[in-house]
Structure 1
Amino acid sequence: MSKVYTGQCACGAVRIQAAGEPVAELHCQCRHCQLRSGTGHSSFTVFAGPEVVRIEGDTRSWSVTADSGNEKHQVFCPECGTPTHVTFPDSPGVTAISAALLDIASQFAPKFATYANSALPWDSLDPALTQYSEMPAG
Protein backbone atom coordinates (compact mmCIF):
# COMPACT_ATOMS: atom_id res chain seq x y z
CA MET A 1 0.00 0.00 0.00
CA SER A 2 1.44 3.38 -0.97
CA LYS A 3 1.90 6.21 1.46
CA VAL A 4 -0.70 9.02 1.34
CA TYR A 5 0.09 12.66 2.08
CA THR A 6 -2.77 15.04 2.85
CA GLY A 7 -2.84 18.70 3.71
CA GLN A 8 -4.73 21.96 3.53
CA CYS A 9 -4.29 25.71 3.40
CA ALA A 10 -4.78 27.83 6.53
CA CYS A 11 -8.53 28.28 6.01
CA GLY A 12 -9.20 24.75 4.71
CA ALA A 13 -10.62 25.88 1.35
CA VAL A 14 -7.86 24.07 -0.57
CA ARG A 15 -7.06 20.42 0.15
CA ILE A 16 -4.17 18.46 -1.30
CA GLN A 17 -3.66 14.71 -1.47
CA ALA A 18 -0.65 12.87 -2.90
CA ALA A 19 -0.08 9.14 -3.12
CA GLY A 20 3.27 7.38 -3.19
CA GLU A 21 6.75 8.41 -2.26
CA PRO A 22 8.03 11.93 -2.94
CA VAL A 23 10.83 12.25 -5.48
CA ALA A 24 12.44 15.01 -3.40
CA GLU A 25 12.04 16.74 -0.05
CA LEU A 26 13.93 19.99 0.27
CA HIS A 27 14.34 23.54 1.45
CA CYS A 28 14.87 26.15 -1.26
CA GLN A 29 16.67 29.37 -0.35
CA CYS A 30 16.38 31.12 -3.74
CA ARG A 31 15.16 34.71 -3.68
CA HIS A 32 11.80 33.73 -5.22
CA CYS A 33 11.17 31.23 -2.43
CA GLN A 34 12.17 33.78 0.19
CA LEU A 35 9.65 36.26 -1.20
CA ARG A 36 7.00 33.55 -1.69
CA SER A 37 7.24 32.41 1.91
CA GLY A 38 7.89 35.75 3.57
CA THR A 39 10.89 34.22 5.35
CA GLY A 40 14.29 32.73 4.51
CA HIS A 41 13.24 29.70 2.45
CA SER A 42 10.38 27.56 1.21
CA SER A 43 10.08 23.86 1.99
CA PHE A 44 8.67 21.34 -0.47
CA THR A 45 7.66 17.72 -0.78
CA VAL A 46 7.88 17.00 -4.51
CA PHE A 47 5.82 14.38 -6.34
CA ALA A 48 6.07 13.24 -9.95
CA GLY A 49 3.77 11.27 -12.18
CA PRO A 50 0.36 11.59 -13.74
CA GLU A 51 -2.51 11.79 -11.29
CA VAL A 52 -0.27 11.44 -8.22
CA VAL A 53 -1.41 14.76 -6.72
CA ARG A 54 -5.04 15.79 -6.36
CA ILE A 55 -5.99 19.39 -5.53
CA GLU A 56 -9.49 20.21 -4.30
CA GLY A 57 -10.77 23.76 -4.01
CA ASP A 58 -10.34 26.99 -5.88
CA THR A 59 -6.76 28.19 -6.42
CA ARG A 60 -5.05 31.10 -8.10
CA SER A 61 -1.54 31.30 -9.47
CA TRP A 62 1.14 33.65 -10.68
CA SER A 63 4.21 32.82 -12.73
CA VAL A 64 7.87 33.58 -12.36
CA THR A 65 10.95 32.64 -14.34
CA ALA A 66 13.29 30.59 -12.17
CA ASP A 67 17.04 31.11 -12.08
CA SER A 68 17.23 28.07 -14.39
CA GLY A 69 15.26 30.01 -17.01
CA ASN A 70 12.24 27.71 -16.62
CA GLU A 71 8.81 29.02 -15.72
CA LYS A 72 7.23 28.16 -12.35
CA HIS A 73 3.57 28.59 -11.46
CA GLN A 74 3.21 29.63 -7.82
CA VAL A 75 -0.22 28.48 -6.62
CA PHE A 76 -2.10 29.79 -3.59
CA CYS A 77 -5.51 29.84 -1.90
CA PRO A 78 -7.43 32.99 -2.92
CA GLU A 79 -9.30 33.02 0.40
CA CYS A 80 -6.43 33.00 2.91
CA GLY A 81 -3.41 33.56 0.64
CA THR A 82 -1.56 30.43 1.76
CA PRO A 83 1.01 29.25 -0.84
CA THR A 84 -0.09 25.68 -1.60
CA HIS A 85 2.11 24.29 -4.35
CA VAL A 86 4.29 24.96 -7.38
CA THR A 87 3.93 23.49 -10.86
CA PHE A 88 6.30 23.58 -13.81
CA PRO A 89 5.04 23.87 -17.42
CA ASP A 90 8.26 22.23 -18.68
CA SER A 91 7.63 19.27 -16.31
CA PRO A 92 3.84 18.87 -16.27
CA GLY A 93 3.83 15.78 -14.03
CA VAL A 94 5.81 17.45 -11.22
CA THR A 95 4.11 19.15 -8.27
CA ALA A 96 6.01 20.66 -5.33
CA ILE A 97 3.69 20.80 -2.33
CA SER A 98 4.41 23.33 0.40
CA ALA A 99 5.54 21.12 3.29
CA ALA A 100 3.82 23.26 5.94
CA LEU A 101 0.43 22.18 4.53
CA LEU A 102 0.90 18.54 5.50
CA ASP A 103 -1.61 17.25 8.04
CA ILE A 104 1.11 14.98 9.43
CA ALA A 105 4.08 17.33 9.69
CA SER A 106 6.50 14.48 10.45
CA GLN A 107 5.99 13.11 6.92
CA PHE A 108 8.30 15.89 5.69
CA ALA A 109 11.91 14.77 5.92
CA PRO A 110 14.14 17.18 3.95
CA LYS A 111 17.23 15.69 2.39
CA PHE A 112 18.88 18.81 0.96
CA ALA A 113 18.76 22.57 0.52
CA THR A 114 19.03 24.37 -2.80
CA TYR A 115 20.37 27.86 -3.53
CA ALA A 116 22.43 27.89 -0.35
CA ASN A 117 24.42 30.71 -1.96
CA SER A 118 21.29 32.89 -1.50
CA ALA A 119 20.77 31.94 2.15
CA LEU A 120 19.98 34.81 4.47
CA PRO A 121 22.35 34.97 7.45
CA TRP A 122 19.50 34.72 9.96
CA ASP A 123 17.87 31.65 8.32
CA SER A 124 19.80 28.67 9.69
CA LEU A 125 18.99 25.21 8.37
CA ASP A 126 20.13 21.85 9.68
CA PRO A 127 23.88 21.77 8.90
CA ALA A 128 23.64 17.99 8.28
CA LEU A 129 21.58 18.61 5.11
CA THR A 130 23.39 18.47 1.79
CA GLN A 131 23.56 22.03 0.51
CA TYR A 132 23.72 22.96 -3.16
CA SER A 133 24.75 26.45 -4.26
CA GLU A 134 22.08 26.24 -7.01
CA MET A 135 19.60 23.61 -8.20
CA PRO A 136 21.31 20.22 -8.62
CA ALA A 137 21.15 18.70 -12.10
CA GLY A 138 18.90 15.77 -12.81
Structure 2
Amino acid sequence: MTKRYTGGCACGAIRYETNDEPIFQNHCQCSDCQKRSGTGHGSYLTFGQRADMAITGEVSTWRVAGASGNEKIHTFCPTCGTPVFLISVAMPEFIAVHAASLDDPEQFSPQMVTYTSHGHTWDKMDPSLQAVERMP
Protein backbone atom coordinates (compact mmCIF):
# COMPACT_ATOMS: atom_id res chain seq x y z
CA MET A 1 0.00 0.00 0.00
CA THR A 2 1.28 3.44 -0.94
CA LYS A 3 1.94 5.79 1.94
CA ARG A 4 0.46 9.25 1.61
CA TYR A 5 2.30 12.31 2.93
CA THR A 6 0.14 15.33 3.74
CA GLY A 7 0.78 18.51 5.63
CA GLY A 8 0.82 22.26 5.59
CA CYS A 9 1.16 25.41 7.63
CA ALA A 10 -0.24 26.06 11.11
CA CYS A 11 -3.29 28.04 9.95
CA GLY A 12 -4.21 25.68 7.08
CA ALA A 13 -3.83 28.25 4.28
CA ILE A 14 -1.11 26.12 2.62
CA ARG A 15 -1.53 22.38 2.10
CA TYR A 16 0.52 19.74 0.31
CA GLU A 17 0.15 16.06 -0.44
CA THR A 18 2.00 13.35 -2.33
CA ASN A 19 1.99 9.58 -2.67
CA ASP A 20 5.71 9.57 -3.50
CA GLU A 21 8.21 8.21 -0.99
CA PRO A 22 10.91 10.59 0.25
CA ILE A 23 14.34 9.98 -1.25
CA PHE A 24 16.16 11.44 1.76
CA GLN A 25 15.28 12.34 5.36
CA ASN A 26 17.66 14.33 7.52
CA HIS A 27 18.37 16.70 10.35
CA CYS A 28 20.46 19.61 9.06
CA GLN A 29 22.67 21.61 11.42
CA CYS A 30 23.80 24.27 8.92
CA SER A 31 23.60 27.87 10.11
CA ASP A 32 20.72 28.66 7.74
CA CYS A 33 18.58 25.80 9.08
CA GLN A 34 19.38 26.82 12.65
CA LYS A 35 18.20 30.38 12.04
CA ARG A 36 15.18 29.20 10.06
CA SER A 37 14.06 26.78 12.77
CA GLY A 38 14.98 28.88 15.79
CA THR A 39 16.88 25.95 17.29
CA GLY A 40 19.92 23.78 16.55
CA HIS A 41 18.75 22.11 13.34
CA GLY A 42 16.02 21.73 10.74
CA SER A 43 14.39 18.38 9.94
CA TYR A 44 13.34 17.54 6.39
CA LEU A 45 11.88 14.94 4.09
CA THR A 46 13.11 15.40 0.52
CA PHE A 47 10.99 14.19 -2.38
CA GLY A 48 12.48 13.62 -5.84
CA GLN A 49 9.62 14.89 -7.98
CA ARG A 50 8.29 18.30 -7.01
CA ALA A 51 5.82 18.01 -9.91
CA ASP A 52 4.16 15.04 -8.14
CA MET A 53 3.40 17.06 -5.00
CA ALA A 54 0.04 18.84 -5.00
CA ILE A 55 0.36 22.22 -3.26
CA THR A 56 -2.57 24.53 -2.56
CA GLY A 57 -2.50 28.05 -1.19
CA GLU A 58 -0.22 30.99 -1.83
CA VAL A 59 3.29 30.87 -0.39
CA SER A 60 5.72 33.68 0.29
CA THR A 61 9.36 33.04 -0.56
CA TRP A 62 12.84 34.25 0.18
CA ARG A 63 16.19 33.14 -1.20
CA VAL A 64 19.45 32.49 0.57
CA ALA A 65 22.81 30.95 -0.29
CA GLY A 66 23.21 27.82 1.81
CA ALA A 67 26.38 26.52 3.44
CA SER A 68 27.17 24.66 0.21
CA GLY A 69 26.99 27.91 -1.75
CA ASN A 70 23.86 26.73 -3.56
CA GLU A 71 20.87 29.04 -3.54
CA LYS A 72 17.76 27.82 -1.72
CA ILE A 73 14.20 29.09 -2.03
CA HIS A 74 12.43 28.95 1.32
CA THR A 75 8.65 29.07 1.42
CA PHE A 76 6.41 30.11 4.27
CA CYS A 77 2.79 31.02 4.88
CA PRO A 78 2.20 34.77 4.56
CA THR A 79 -0.60 34.53 7.15
CA CYS A 80 0.90 32.48 10.01
CA GLY A 81 4.60 32.53 9.03
CA THR A 82 5.05 28.75 9.22
CA PRO A 83 7.93 27.44 7.07
CA VAL A 84 6.54 24.72 4.80
CA PHE A 85 9.05 23.62 2.17
CA LEU A 86 12.24 24.57 0.39
CA ILE A 87 13.69 24.10 -3.08
CA SER A 88 17.32 24.11 -4.18
CA VAL A 89 17.86 26.24 -7.29
CA ALA A 90 20.53 23.72 -8.41
CA MET A 91 18.02 20.82 -8.16
CA PRO A 92 14.59 22.38 -8.84
CA GLU A 93 12.88 19.02 -9.31
CA PHE A 94 13.44 18.19 -5.60
CA ILE A 95 11.30 19.55 -2.78
CA ALA A 96 12.08 19.29 0.94
CA VAL A 97 9.21 19.63 3.42
CA HIS A 98 9.72 20.50 7.06
CA ALA A 99 9.11 17.37 9.14
CA ALA A 100 6.93 19.18 11.68
CA SER A 101 4.69 20.45 8.87
CA LEU A 102 3.45 16.89 8.26
CA ASP A 103 -0.04 16.06 9.48
CA ASP A 104 1.60 12.97 10.96
CA PRO A 105 5.15 13.97 12.00
CA GLU A 106 5.77 10.33 13.01
CA GLN A 107 6.17 9.63 9.28
CA PHE A 108 9.56 11.34 9.55
CA SER A 109 12.35 8.78 9.85
CA PRO A 110 15.72 10.55 9.73
CA GLN A 111 18.59 8.75 8.02
CA MET A 112 21.38 11.23 8.63
CA VAL A 113 22.56 14.42 10.32
CA THR A 114 24.12 16.86 7.85
CA TYR A 115 26.39 19.86 8.42
CA THR A 116 27.55 18.63 11.81
CA SER A 117 30.49 21.02 11.44
CA HIS A 118 28.00 23.78 12.27
CA GLY A 119 26.30 21.88 15.12
CA HIS A 120 26.19 22.99 18.74
CA THR A 121 27.09 20.80 21.72
CA TRP A 122 23.64 21.41 23.23
CA ASP A 123 21.84 20.10 20.10
CA LYS A 124 22.04 16.37 20.80
CA MET A 125 21.30 14.08 17.87
CA ASP A 126 20.56 10.37 17.84
CA PRO A 127 24.05 8.79 17.93
CA SER A 128 22.85 5.89 15.75
CA LEU A 129 22.33 8.25 12.78
CA GLN A 130 25.09 8.68 10.24
CA ALA A 131 26.62 12.14 10.74
CA VAL A 132 28.47 14.11 8.04
CA GLU A 133 30.19 17.48 8.16
CA ARG A 134 28.50 18.68 4.94
CA MET A 135 25.81 17.45 2.55
CA PRO A 136 26.73 14.11 0.94
- TM-score bin, normalised by smaller chain: over 0.9
Instruction: State whether residues 32 and 67 of structure 2, in contact with CA within 8 Å, keep that contact through their aligned partners in structure 1.
Output: no
More displaced 10-residue stretch of structure 1: 30-39 or 62-71: 62-71
Identity of aligned residues (%): 45
Paired with 1:130 and 1:19, the residues of 2 have a C-alpha distance of 26
Within-5 A mapping of 1:1-138 = 1-136=1-136
Paired with 1:50 and 1:16, the residues of 2 have a C-alpha distance of 11
Structure 1 residue runs of 4 or more that deviate by more than 6 Å after TM superposition: none
- 1:10-47 deviations in whole A, cap 9, x for unaligned? 11111111221100000000000000001110000000
Opposite residue 112 of structure 2, the aligned amino acid is F
Paired with 2:36 and 2:83, the residues of 1 have a C-alpha distance of 7
Paired with 1:23 and 1:61, the residues of 2 have a C-alpha distance of 24
More displaced 10-residue stretch of structure 1: 81-90 or 48-57: 48-57
Shift in alpha-carbon separation, 1:35–1:50, aligned structure 2, 3 A: closer
Opposite residue 16 of structure 2, the aligned amino acid is I
RMSD: 1.1
**How many residues are matched?**
136
Paired with 1:82 and 1:100, the residues of 2 have a C-alpha distance of 10
In the superposition, the TM-score normalised over structure 2's length comes to: 0.95
Paired with 1:50 and 1:15, the residues of 2 have a C-alpha distance of 14
Deviation, 1:50, is 5.0
Paired with 2:114 and 2:89, the residues of 1 have a C-alpha distance of 20
Paired with 2:16 and 2:39, the residues of 1 have a C-alpha distance of 23
Deviation, 1:2, is 2.7
Structure 2: unaligned runs, 5 residues or longer:
none
